[in-house]
């Protein structure tokens, strides 16, 4: 590969994605606020950027995988940030789950400077990222998408082109995460229902995941957690779930769309956080989704 790539954000998802770019032969420069995450990459031949200003060069490509709107804005617009270093001619490819409004803002700012902002949201847990099997939703100007497509093919099995409006990639990811939130609420209530009649909740949810109707990672993985009441998996904790629930509801509010299930999921996540369970998987919201059903059963 002749293209030199910068990569910012080596957390649970960013780390396996950046490793796949190295394996694909890209000349990679990496940056993370936690320098301990960088050591495995330099051992494999990647270069370390000690500041954002060292990772971006005019007309280059930088990929970011950061957790929040605020962190993406800081990376792009902060002192020595990517907007300053990449333009003109450069591409900032954001793979983060952020608000449509932030992507819209950054797309306009990059265009004013002669650069390009692309949104490329991803579906898949860290193990799927490690396998290079993510689903990727890409949106932004066509010429820039052509340029980044080869590196995205090193990260995922499917790349879906959603057109030139960058917000499309963000709302598709939020829609997907909402479906997970809704499934967690539903599994929590269903588990409480069958348990109220003396059925083993773990057996019930395992049988649903094994059925022809509810197969897949959401029902298999999260269903197992909910059935066994074991939420120690910290790949996606309550705080990240809260972020996504807020983003879903903010996006819905922009178009005047009521989303009562998303509101319910938010309430259960807030209850989990308030009960000292913020470090557990967001699937723990199912415990709080089940509380109303349990109370009604007790009252009857």
Is residue 213 classed as helix, strand or coil in its secondary structure?
coil
Which H or E element spans position 28?
Answer: strand 27-31
Q: Are 155 and 132 in contact (CB under 8 A)?
A: yes
Q: Are 121 and 169 in contact (CB under 8 A)?
A: yes
Cα gap 62→42, rounded to integer Å: 17
Cα gap 282→231, rounded to integer Å: 8
Exposure pattern of 190-229 as b/e (b: 16+ CB <10 Å)? Answer: bbbbebbeeeebbebbbebbeeeebeeebbebbbbbbbee
Residue 173 annotated as catalytic: yes
Residue identified by tokens 């509010």 is: 253
Q: Are 122 and 129 in contact (CB under 8 A)?
A: yes
Q: Are 121 and 137 in contact (CB under 8 A)?
A: yes
Report how far apart, in Å, the C-alpha atoms of 241 and of each of 177, 247, 278 are.
9, 10, 10
> Between vectors from CA 40 to CA 39 and to CA 44, what angle results, nearest 5°?
115
Alpha helices in 117-166 (DSSP H): 126-130, 142-153
* Residue of 19, 28, 26 whose CA lies nearest to 46: 28
- Which of 23, 145, 173, 243 is labelled catalytic? 173
Q: Which tokens hold the place of 109?
A: 């700012």
The catalytic site residues sit at 173
């Amino acid at each position: 590969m002749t293209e030199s790539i910068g990569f910012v954000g080596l957390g649970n998802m960013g780390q396996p994605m950046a490793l796949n770019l190295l394996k694909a032969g890209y000349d990679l420069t990496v940056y993370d606020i936690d320098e301990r995450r960088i050591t495995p990459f330099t051992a494999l031949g990647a270069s370390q950027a000690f500041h954002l200003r060292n990772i971006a060069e005019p007309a280059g490509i930088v990929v970011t995988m950061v957790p929040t709107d605020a962190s993406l804005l800081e990376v792009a617009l902060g002192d020595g940030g990517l907007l300053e270093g990449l333009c003109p001619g450069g591409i900032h490819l954001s793979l983060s789950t952020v608000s449509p409004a932030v992507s819209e803002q950054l797309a306009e700012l990059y265009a004013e400077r002669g650069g390009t902002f692309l949104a490329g949201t991803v579906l898949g847990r860290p193990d799927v990222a490690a396998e290079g099997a993510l689903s990727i939703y890409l949106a932004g100007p066509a010429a820039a998408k052509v340029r980044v497509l080869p590196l995205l093919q090193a990260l995922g099995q499917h790349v879906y082109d959603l057109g030139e409006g960058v917000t499309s990639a963000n709302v598709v990811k939020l829609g997907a995460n909402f479906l997970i939130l809704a499934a967690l609420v539903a599994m929590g209530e269903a588990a409480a229902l069958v348990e109220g009649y003396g059925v083993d909740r773990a057996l019930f949810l395992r049988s649903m995941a094994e059925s022809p109707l509810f197969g897949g990672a959401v029902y298999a993985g999260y269903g197992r957690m909910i059935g066994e009441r074991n939420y120690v998996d910290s790949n996606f904790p309550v705080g990240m779930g809260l972020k996504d629930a807020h983003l879903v509801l903010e996006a819905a509010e922009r178009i005047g769309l009521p989303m009562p299930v998303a509101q319910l999921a938010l309430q259960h996540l807030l209850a989990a956080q308030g009960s000292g369970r913020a470090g557990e998987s967001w699937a723990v919201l199912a415990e709080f989704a089940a509380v109303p059903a349990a109370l009604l059963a007790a009252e009857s």
